[in-house]
Chain A
Amino acid sequence: QSVLTQPPSVSGAPGQRVTVSCSGSSSNIGAGYDIHWYQQLPGTAPKLLIYGNGNRPSGVPDRFSGSKSGTSASLAITGLQPEDEADYYCQSYDSSLSGYVFGTGTKVAVL
């Protein structure tokens, strides 16, 4: 059972802006640990999308952005594209569990 909670699904039309939330607690996000985001396209391994709360690795389009506030974090996708249809996971460190934790995952659908 994950300590980082995400909505099961979000959807939007092409070109729209969608956000994926990641809700944590005082032992992970609220403790100041960084949030990282991964994109998992169907049938493939997860791919790093955002690291250190809001940094994009080389090659990741700038329509993806991340932010963190308090005990929550968000991934925003602006100008949604059909190829963005995938599962998205947040990840952090939890001091109570003494290890890395992943969010429950969110399926983004492009209508």
Chain B
Amino acid sequence: QVQLQESGPGLVKPSETLSLTCAVSGYSISTTYYWGWIRQPPGKGLEWIGSIYYSGSTFYNPSLKSRVTISVDTSKNQFSLKLSSVTAADTALYYCARQSGSGTVVRNWFDLWGQGTLVTVSS
């Protein structure tokens, strides 16, 4: 079955760049679908960070856009997140997810999620 697995450092220093990778198994990332990143601060709600199409087309949460870069590596069947100039407010569980839907991307939902990885921003 299709599985998503996040990986990356669990601790990042303030002002540095957070880097995470989402490895996809059981499905070719270059077939179709958008792929997204969502985060959840401890004890709080969900926030969409951004999404990428297998071709490399991206769109980001405007509130994070200046600091976010999402890329895809079809040869490794994975996609990645970089968030620069992090602060304690970026401490969260970071999830990668597959998007699905009919019609345009604005109608998408997140049908498969990784287990999430906790990233703490602290010196």
Contacts and interface: CB of A to CB of B under 8 A. Distances in A.
Nearest to A93: B106
15 contacts: A44-B115, A45-B95, A46-B110, A46-B113, A48-B109, A48-B111, A51-B109, A52-B102, A52-B107, A89-B46, A97-B62, A99-B62, A100-B36, A100-B48, A101-B48
Interface of A: 2, 33-34, 36, 38, 44-48, 51-52, 57, 89, 91, 93, 95, 97-105
Interface residues of B, number: 26
Interface string B28-57: 000000001010000001111001000000
Contacts of B62: 97-99
B114 interface: yes
Interface in B67-106: 95, 100-102, 106
Contacts of A89: 45-46
B66 interface: no
Contacts of B100: 51
Contacts of B115: 44-45
B8 to A, nearest CB: 16
Given A91-B109, A102-B38, 4 more contacts: A34-B109, A45-B95, A93-B107, A104-B45
